[in-house]
Structures are given as structure tokens and as C-alpha cells.
Amino acid sequence: MNTHAAMAVREAADVLGITGGASLNEIRHRYRELMKEWHPDAAKSDPASSHQRTVTLNGAYELLLDYCTNHRFSFRLDDIKATMGKTPGEYWMERFGDDPLWS
């Protein structure tokens, strides 16, 4: 992904108020919350500004969905372990495995 595309994804996340990581379900939930708030039929603000805000939200949501849907994931065992973290046993052995008190 080039820098411009990476910035577009970051900006789309900002539009939805996503500052860190989020699951696809969390992105959908946030989008729905904002749409309920800004939809021209429900918003208490100017219909024109509400319409513009919903257009912006839709664009950001579509870009994030496209990014999440087309992002390639590795299913190699080493990559899965690195992504999911260590098991309690692996953590213990890494921290205390060489300690004579615990081994």
C-alpha cells in the first residue's frame, strides 16, 4: 500500500472516530452509531450539513470495508503465533525457563 492510500485509510478511520485498532464488527457498530446521529431524517441540524456528513461517513466506511476485506492475512503458523501472542506456557518458559529456581 502506498503512502497516499495509507493516509486515506487513516483519515477514514478518523472520520469514524477510530483511533487505534478495531475489528470489522467494531467498525460497523461505530458507523451505524454515527449514521443514526447524522442521517438527515433524524439529525436535528441543518439537512444540507447532515447530508454532507452522511456522504463523508459513507465514503469513509466503504474505504475501511474495502481495506479490511482486501487486506491479506498470513496463515503461516509462525505469523499466527506472532499475531495472536504467546500461550501462557510459552510466556512462562521465555521469562523463567532458564532460572534455576523455576526449572
Q: Domain locations in the chain? A: 3-72, 74-103
First and final C-alpha spacing in the chain = 46
State whether CATH 1.10.287 applies to domain 3-72: yes
Residue 89, pLDDT > 90, answer: no
- Return the higher-pLDDT residue of 18 and 96: 18
pLDDT value of position 103: 46
What sign does the dihedral 81-73-19-7 (CA atoms) show?
positive
Maximum CA extent, the chain: 71
pLDDT value of position 44: 81
Per-residue pLDDT of 34-64, as tens digits, reads 999 998 888 888 888 999 999 999 999 999 9
And the C-alpha cell for 72? 491479506
Residue 2, pLDDT > 60, answer: no
At residue 92, the 3 state secondary structure works out as helix
Asked whether 31 and 57 are in contact (CB, 8 A), the reply is: yes
